[in-house]
Amino acid sequence: MANYLLVHGAWHGGWCWKRVSPLLRAAGHEVFTPTLTGLGEREHLMSVDIGLDTHIRDVLGVLDYEDLRDVILVGHSYGGMVIAGAADKAAERIAHLVYLDAFVPEDGKALVDYQPPEFLQMFRERTRTEGEGFKLPCVIPAEAFGLTNEQDLAWVRPRLNPHPLKTKLDAVRLANPKAAQIPRTFVYCNNPAVGPFGQFAERLKKDVSWRYVELPTGHDSMITAPKDVAALLLKLALPASNRES
Kindly list the catalytic residues. 77
Q: Crossing angle for the helix pair 79-89 and 52-65, nearest 10 degrees?
A: 60
Quote the distance between the C-alpha of residue 5 and its chain's center.
10
- Rounded CA separation 47/43 (Å): 9
| Antiparallel, parallel or unpaired: β 94-100 and 135-136 | unpaired
Q: Which of 80, 239, 89 is nearest to 168 (CA)?
A: 80
- Rounded CA separation 229/102 (Å): 14
The number of residues in the chain equals 245
According to DSSP, the residues that pair with 185 across neighbouring strands are: 98, 211
Count CB-CB contacts under 10 A for residue 242.
Answer: 8
